[in-house]
Each structure stands twice: as C-alpha cells, then as structure tokens.
Structure 1
C-alpha cells in the first residue's frame, strides 16, 4: 500500500472522528464535535492517505501526542518528538500497523534527524506495544491519568 502524508483537512478530520473501534479499543473512539475538528485542523495533526486519496490514518506530533497530566508529573521532561497515531479501524489487527507506522516514523525523522521519538500508549493495548517494540521503541515508565495506566516508550535516534 502506497502512503502519503497530507495536510489535515476538515473532510479528513470528520472522517477520522467518526471511526468506531471494537472493544477494548473503543477507548480510542472520538466524538465528532466542532472543538474536535478544530483541534485536528489547528494542532500538529497530519493525514495519511493511500494512492486513491483515502484516509488510512493520521498522526500528531508535539503536545497533542501527550497525555495532559504528564507535564505535571514530569513525564515529558526529555527533549523528544512526541508522536501519536491512529489507523482506520478496518485496517487494524491485520498486519498493516508495521508499514503504516514505519512510514510515519520515516517522515518524522526527515523533519528532525537528531531528537529521539517518544510515544504514550495505554498499557492494555498490548497489540500496539508489540508493534512499537518491533519498531525499536523501548519501555520507559508507567503512569496513571484518569484511572488509565499509560506506558511511555522511546526510540533513540542517535543512541
């Protein structure tokens, strides 16, 4: 599957916000609202599309990829590029994640070849954690936010 990074548009944002994941991944379901659309359009969110210009997934970098209480706990004190990803529900659990996230990582590393890449994942999401480990991410530490346990993982770029 050929992938391309595009600017997030209102069409892509509405499409992504309407995705519905099966349990237990329904934790990642969003609510379509004006404020959610504005966040996807004004923060550092990028659409990932296929060669037919269909939305395959999206990613965000920076603050948008962090859990809000993490700053207060000093979780994000290192100077890294934070990344968060989402893939169309119909494509998950079918071996597409490696190609999808590899493409995103390559794109991010072209933006900054020096900084390590960090992500935060809910600890119940063992499928994602396994993927991240295959791509070179290492478990750093766990923390809780709103009774959900999260895992911080980092990929060293020049380590």
Structure 2
C-alpha cells in the first residue's frame, strides 16, 4: 500500500528567529581574533546596565534577531536598523565559523528576512574597508559598493564602505 503522506520540506540551512535574552548573553561571550576584535561586545551585564543595543529589551525585540542553523545552533545575529526607505543591516557570525564557508548562506538568510520585514525598502550595510573577507561574502550575496567615507569612531576615524543589495536598487 502506498502512503499518502506528503514528506516534510527539507530544512533550510539557516533561519532567523528572535534574539532572546539568553542568546544575547551568549553573543557577549564571543571573542574574535585580531584584527576582528573590534566586533566584540561588552559583557552582558554592561550591555544591560547601559541599555546599549540589544541590552535594551525594546531595541532587541524591534531590531535584533538570532540566526540558527538546521540543528538550531546559534551561529550569528542580525540587526535590522530602520532608516527612511532603507533597512540597514548589522550582522555578525560566531567567531569559530568565520572563514569556514558559511558566510554566504548566513548573509542570504538575513537578506531574505530584511525583505520579509520591509519588502519595499532598500537594503544596505556598512563594512570596514580592511575587512576584505566580509566584503567578498557580501559581494557574492549580491551587494555592491555604493559609497566610501570616513567615519569617526571611538577607536579613531575608520574608512567605511556602504554596500547596497543590488536586487533592491531602483
């Protein structure tokens, strides 16, 4: 006898979910190798005390998300920062996964979520010009350089590229 059940669709490699307090605390423990140490967060206690970024529950719920793999393992985060007609992405991959070939699917999952959240918005991101590894992944994901500028940061003036997702260009 033939079964009439329809098989479940295959699990996608990455999915975007809310960034819970537990995952936010774990994110603060991630440590990157130089020169990527710039991307490390303060301790979870400091993030909460200062209500900084995802340490503020309202900002965390409205702008931040976790990215999980097919085994529901926390592999990265995304920020969907709303600007007028633009969704600016901030994203970070767990340090032990950087340079291991998971970046493209990770970025694609985040882009799809940005489109779902605001389908009419342009999508862009900022990246340091020295971060060639990230730039290469963003280009493979469909981003193009739209601008280059100097940005004053606490660590000094940094050279930044603004990259726009080409499918969202008008």
Structure-2-length-normalised TM-score: 0.77
The question of 1:42 aligning with 2:58 is answered yes
Confirm or deny that 1:5 pairs with 2:16.
yes
Structure 2 equivalent of residue 71 of structure 1: none
Partner secondary structure for residue 100 of structure 2: coil
Contact 1:45 1:60 in 2 (8 A): yes
1:48-87 to structure 2, matched below 5 A, reads 48-62=67-81, 79-87=85-93
The worse-fitting range, judged by mean Cα deviation, of 135-144 and 53-62 is 135-144
1:90 is matched with which residue: 96, 99, 105?
96
Contact 1:118/1:155, CA 8 A, preserved across alignment: yes
Which structure features the higher share of strand residues?
2
Distance 1:81 1:25 in 2: 24
3-state secondary structure, aligned to 1:117: strand
Aligned to 2:150: 143
TM superposition shift of 1:90: 0.6
Any idea what SS the aligned residue of 1:93 has? coil
- Flag structure 2 segments of 5+ consecutive residues without an equivalent: 1-11
Number of residue equivalences = 146
Report which stretch shifted further, 100-109 or 41-50.
41-50
Unaligned runs of 5+ in 1: 64-75
How many Å separate the matches in 2 of 1:98 and 1:51? Answer: 15
CA distance in 2, matches of 1:3, 1:135: 15
TM-score normalised to structure 1 length: 0.82
CA–CA separation in structure 2 for the residues paired with 1:90 and 1:33: 20
Question: Structure 1 135/51 Cα, relative in aligned 2: closer, same or farther at 3 Å?
Answer: closer
**Which of residues 28, 31, 39 in structure 2 aligns to 1:28?**
39
